[in-house]
Amino acid sequence: MNTTTTAFSADVLNIDAAAVSAVIETEIRDIVLQRLNRKGVIVAISGGIDSSVVAALCIKALGSTRVLGLILPEADSSPDSLYFANLLAQSLGLRTHLEDIAGILTAAGCYQRRDEAIRKVIPEYKDGYKCKIVLPDQVNGSAYPIFSVVVESPTGERTKTRLTLDSYLGVVAATSFKQRTRKMMEYYYADLLNYAVAGTPNRLEYDQGFFVKNGDGAADLKPIAHLYKTQVYQLAESLGIPEEIQKRPPTTDTYPLDQSQEEFYFPLPYDKMDLCLYARNREIQPEEVAPVIGLTPEQVARAYHVIDSTRRATRYLHRPAVLCEDVPEVPHDAGT
Amino acid sequence: MVLKDELRQFVTDNLMFGKPCDGFADDDSFIERGIIDSTAVMELVAFLEQRYRFKLQDRELNPDNLDSVNKLARFVASRLEPKFAAELGPGRVLLGPGPLQFAGKNGPGT
């Protein structure tokens, strides 16, 4: 790796939040009203920081009459998510609709298929049990990123079992119904109102493929995909997002058991991951990064490896449909 | 088929989807060659457990054991039944299409 001359510090991700917000608001107006020729924006709000900031930016850009927030809980959603979503809506003056998608997911067999996949490795898993899938520690060891399932019985006893390939694929495929059903609902309202759909990934999530293809990965615009999560928090403070939401720990809110993003996807907490990603993008040596974020150079090197390998593995998620032969009349960026 | 050859064949057919090896050496790192990701590792583990009839422990799932044809061969040979492994050195295990068979002094079946 080449060494840069830029000094690396914990402050490299500091931004002028008001200025960055103004730029994004201008872009949102241009994208939605001019380039996409839509009247407003749909934002699915989870009560998390990213969707909260996107909703706030859209309202500042377009006005509250042109933004609709969708609250889309399902059977495994934390009650906190509904509370925080309503808190956000109140604080922003955001119009919302609530659509409980549990019925759709049940009809599609989401929960049943997931549970059947888990029973391939834990035969006793049934109603009353809770689950989540977790990765091993990839920063403090050299383990492959192979998922295990953590299961909690009705009496509170927890066990952890490594997933086989078919059980892992089964769990992921079934769970992905959730993100894809939410997106289906977002586009229903988008079509109904002639609005565009805003995606809410931050840079870490976008870069590392932390989304479901044609689920939460689908959108017409992604206003904060270029911002590190650390910077999203800075915007949140500047935009006046309720402090409770700012302080809420990031969660996937996807499995019945509480699951942090570090357990499921990222090897480090977001603030350290952001700095590693920033440093990796600039080919800054692990020895320079390590003391800044409180890790050893070996741990930073492993984090770099995870970043690189995850990028490779998730390239597929970003690809649009591949044509067997070009259709020149339809450019790749047909929106311009 | 020698153990190493069978492992190479599995990697080529299942993890590289039959694409040419392009100078794929027995010491080449699967990770560095971009051949292996998390689902590929799981597929490899399933193959090893079914074909060679042993259970991989979580602590064994690391690149030191699995990240090249040579490392795979050494690891698998070390996990084979001791009575069989004692008769043979690494790379001397012969495999038929069915249950594991081992070379005797005078060749297969003796």
CATH classification at residue A156: 3.30.890
Interface test with B, best of A135, A144, A166, A265 (most B CBs within 10 A): A144
Say which of A141, A144, A305 has its CB closest to residue B38.
A144
Whether residue A178 is found in the same domain as residue A58? yes
**CATH code, residues B3-108:** 1.10.1200.10
- Is A162 inside any structural domain? yes
Whether residue A52 is found in the same domain as residue A194? yes
Q: What is the pLDDT of residues A209-263, one digit of tens each?
A: 999 999 999 999 999 999 999 999 999 999 999 999 999 988 778 898 888 777 7
Whether residue A129 is found in the same domain as residue A222? no
The pLDDT score that the predictor gives to residue B104 is 34
What average pLDDT does chain A have? 93
Q: What is the pLDDT of residues A148-192, one digit of tens each?
A: 999 999 999 999 999 999 999 999 999 999 999 999 999 999 999
Whether residue A96 is found in the same domain as residue A200? yes
Query: B17 pLDDT band (50/70/90 cuts)?
Result: low
Rounded mean pLDDT, A198-218: 96
Whether residue A234 is found in the same domain as residue A185? yes
Say which of A162, A164, A165 has its CB closest to residue B58.
A162
Rounded mean pLDDT, B101-110: 36
Whether residue A59 is found in the same domain as residue A92? yes
Q: What is the pLDDT of residues B51-104, one digit of tens each?
A: 998 999 988 998 899 999 999 999 999 998 765 555 544 544 444 344 443 333
The last residue of a domain, from among A169, A187, A212 = A169
Answer yes or no: are the C-beta atoms of A76 and A251 closer than 8 Å.
Answer: no
Long-range CB contacts (within 8 A, 24+) of A140-146? A140/A299, A141/B62, A142/A302, A142/B62, A142/B63, A142/B64, A143/B58, A143/B61, A143/B62, A144/B38, A144/B41, A144/B61, A144/B62, A144/B63, A144/B66, A145/A306, A145/B38, A145/B41, A146/B38, A146/B41, A146/B42, A146/B45, A146/B61
**Domain boundaries, given as residue ranges, for chain B:** 3-108
Whether residue A234 is found in the same domain as residue A262? yes
Query: A275 pLDDT band (50/70/90 cuts)?
Result: very high
Percent of chain A with pLDDT over 70: 97
Whether residue A143 is found in the same domain as residue A272? no
Whether residue A236 is found in the same domain as residue A306? yes
Number of domains in chain A: 2
Residues of B in contact with A142 (CB under 8 A): 62-64
∠ CA B69-B75-B77, nearest 5°, is 100
Chain B positions with Cβ closer than 8 Å to A: 31, 34, 37-39, 41-43, 45-46, 58, 61-64, 66
**Closest residue by Cα to residue A132 from A183, A78, A194, A185:** A78
Q: What is the CATH number of the domain that holds A217?
A: 3.40.50.620
Whether residue A153 is found in the same domain as residue A27? no
Whether residue A233 is found in the same domain as residue A180? yes
Interface of A with B in 151-210 (CB under 8 A): 162-165, 168-169
- Is A6 inside any structural domain? no
Structure tokens at A236: 């949140």
Query: A4 pLDDT band (50/70/90 cuts)?
Result: very low
Containing structural domain, residue A313: 17-107+170-317
**Alpha helices, DSSP H only, in B1-110?**
3-10, 38-52, 63-66, 69-79, 82-85
- Is A141 inside any structural domain? yes
Specify the residue for token string 């931050």: A202
Whether residue A253 is found in the same domain as residue A122? no
Quick one: closest CA in A to B44, which residue? A165
